[in-house]
Chains A and B, each alone.
Chain A
Amino acid sequence: MFTNEMNVSFSAISENEIFARLCVTGFVSCLDPDLEDLNDIKTSVSEAVTNSIIHGYENCEGIVYINCKISDRKIIIQIEDRGKGIKDIKKAMEPLYTSKPFFERAGMGFTVMEAFMDKVEVFSKEGEGTRVLMEKTI
């Protein structure tokens, strides 16, 4: 069975959104994914990392952690922050719901992740942080 793992952490600043998605897509490229799968992963990582920066840390100082595992053809990505956490996960995941409408956020982040990945799970505790687990078999 082919296995591979990668860990990366970086400052929670918007400049690092591009780094995060290129880092994960670079890591999974050993599976030779097609462009559509690669784009699905890239977009979902971008959504989760952006959520950590905007909502988890509310654009203040913090670190975003990414753990990525490959098991055969399955990719497991975990994106975590130690920010403020989510009070109501169910509500946060509703399409078009945003806690920040004045910033022109569309409220589509989790909807995009759920549409593009096979599985999305969110673990969060107020005051402690949030971890998003995503899986995709290619």
Chain B
Amino acid sequence: MATEGHRRRVFEGSLEQLAAIRTFVNEAVSELGGGEEDKFACELACDEAAANIYNHAFQGARGKVSVELWREGKMLVVQLNYQGRAFDPSRVPEPDLEAPLDERPSGGLGMYFMRQLMSQVDFDFDALEGNCLTMRRALAA
């Protein structure tokens, strides 16, 4: 599948970078032909992924996250590359949304949103290249 329209930016810091990451993703999705639903989905999914990375892979310390977006036909691809502790957000168990609020675990909602909003979520780890989280979303009609 041919890819097109690559947009990439590196964000260095911690959770205070989330707003800048959301703005970058929002603008990139728009430039790549996505509509309002696509912008919201990619923005929230990317925010949740980056928050998990800052909290778990960097464990609260500062770190670098590369965010890259491109098109593959009718598919939008969002990829996050980062060093740090190997952390696969897709292995975080999803919460039981039928359970009463006081019985719900505090984590897992972010991953639930990523899976709900994106068509596919994949994780790779390479000892040299580091962590790579790739999310694909079929563009809304």
A is bound by B: no
A binding-site residues for B, Cβ under 8 Å: none
B binding-site residues for A, Cβ under 8 Å: none
